[in-house]
Amino acid sequence: MAGAAGSGGQAGPPGCLAIIAGRGTLPQRLAEARREAGLPYLLIVFPGCEETWMAAHPIERHEFERAGRLFSALRRAGVETVVFAGAMNRPRLRPWRVDWTALRLLGRALRLLARGDDAMLRGFGAVFEERGLRLISPAEILGDELTLPRGALGRHAPSAADLKDAARAAAIVTALGPVDVGQGAVVARGLCLAVEAIEGTDLMLARIAELPAERRRAAPPPSGVLWKAPKPGQDRRFDLPTIGPATVEGAARAGLRGIVGAAGEIHLLDPQATREAADRLGLFVFGALPSDLAEGG
């Protein structure tokens, strides 16, 4: 895996790393980077997240309700650092499975589950930090390989009108940040078609694809831009926005012209496949700085 260690030449800090592994390719990239660097690591997998590739790596299976067992396992493995990676559903706690450690955390956990994603993840991260574990971002392991670079990823680039739509979508995401809603919005010819909420990007794009023609009369396909960026003030160690080949395909089905993301702040899954999908479908994937959006506006 070329460049897995990123620009720093290391796949993260020394000492054992626990990868709290959700779905998707990011946990696999992290595990492979650690293995290739010869650094110790352990996959921690919760129900509903296990995938076939994990069998080739050191792995432990845990339950949200058995927090005492989890933290004991981390101590035995000599874990010093923890990284969260991949999509994970909000847990449905089963009270009859709760151990003593989880019972002491139960009231706190229930309050966190009622909050937005970023606040919830910060809260659960604090539980790990209180036990002497250091939380890091996936970027500390993968470096520049992880993120969307500035400029066009493939053959196609946005027009000035597209960047204007992206700027409006960015303003929407920024305005919603204080209430911990969404990391994306879609704007077509100045009209907001959708804002990402708890359903995630793929389902948001599917909703746009199903809009009746009369709802898009003022902005018929192909038109519109998906903007992706972290929420203002978001903790970069958790749940950074992610795009990949499936995002490009969803944008094409939604009749959009392309995707613009905050350069250096977006997880880019499988850059080659994402580029190939964009070129094949005639969409742009573009990493933008604030000055790029200003120029488009």
Looking at the predicted structure, is the pLDDT value of residue 294 above 90?
Answer: no
DSSP 89: P
Q: What is the pLDDT of residue 172?
A: 95
Q: What is the mean predicted confidence (pLDDT) over 14-34?
A: 91
Secondary structure of residue 269 in the 3-state scheme: coil
Region for 143 from its dihedrals, namely left if φ exceeds 0, alpha if ψ lies in -120 to 50, beta otherwise: left
Looking at the predicted structure, is the pLDDT value of residue 116 above 80?
Answer: no
Q: What is the pLDDT of residue 235?
A: 74
Kindly list the strands in the beta sheet with 134-136, ordered across the sheet, starting from the edge strand earlier in the chain: 59-61, 41-45, 16-21, 79-85, 134-136
Nearest one of 106, 260, 88, 80 to 185, comparing CA atoms: 260
Q: What is the pLDDT of residue 178?
A: 82
- Say which residue, 166 or 49, is predicted with more confidence: 166
Per-residue model confidence as pLDDT tens digits over 74-85: 999 999 999 988
Which DSSP helix (H) or strand (E) runs through 205? helix 201-209
Whole-number Å distance between alpha carbons of 126 and 72: 17
Give the pair of three-digit tokens for residue 132.
């002497």
Whole-number Å distance between alpha carbons of 227 and 247: 11
Under the banding of pLDDT at 50, 70 and 90, the label for residue 64 is confident
Region for 195 from its dihedrals, namely left if φ exceeds 0, alpha if ψ lies in -120 to 50, beta otherwise: beta
DSSP labels, 40-73: -EEEEE-TT---GGGGGS-EEE--TT-HHHHHHH
Q: Tell me, letter by letter, the H, E, C secondary structure of 103-154.
A: HHHHHHHHHHHCCCHHHHHHHHHHHHHCCCCEEECCHHHHHHHHECCCEECC
Q: What is the pLDDT of residue 102?
A: 60
CATH architecture of 147-296: 3-Layer(aba) Sandwich (3.40)
The residue type found at 77 is: A
Under the banding of pLDDT at 50, 70 and 90, the label for residue 297 is low
- Position of tokens 């946990």? 27
Under the banding of pLDDT at 50, 70 and 90, the label for residue 6 is very low
Under the banding of pLDDT at 50, 70 and 90, the label for residue 191 is very high
Give the pair of three-digit tokens for residue 20.
């709290």
Rg of the chain over CA atoms, in angstroms?
Answer: 20
Domain spans, the chain: 6-142, 147-296
CATH code of the domain made up of 6-142 = 3.40.50.20
Q: What is the pLDDT of residue 283?
A: 98
Per-residue model confidence as pLDDT tens digits over 90-115: 666 666 566 666 666 656 655 655 55
Percentage of the chain lying above the pLDDT 90 cut: 55
Phi, psi of 144 (to 5 degrees): -65, -20
Poorest-confidence range of 4-13, 136-145, 239-248? 4-13
pTM for the model stands at 0.75
- Check whether the bond before 14 is cis (ω within 30° of 0): no
Average confidence score pLDDT of the chain: 85
Q: What is the mean predicted confidence (pLDDT) over 250-256?
A: 98
Region for 24 from its dihedrals, namely left if φ exceeds 0, alpha if ψ lies in -120 to 50, beta otherwise: left
Residue ranges with strand state E in 234-276:
242-243, 258-262, 267-268
Looking at the predicted structure, is the pLDDT value of residue 140 above 70?
Answer: yes
Secondary structure of residue 81 in the 3-state scheme: strand
Residue 145 CB-half CA count within 13 A: 22
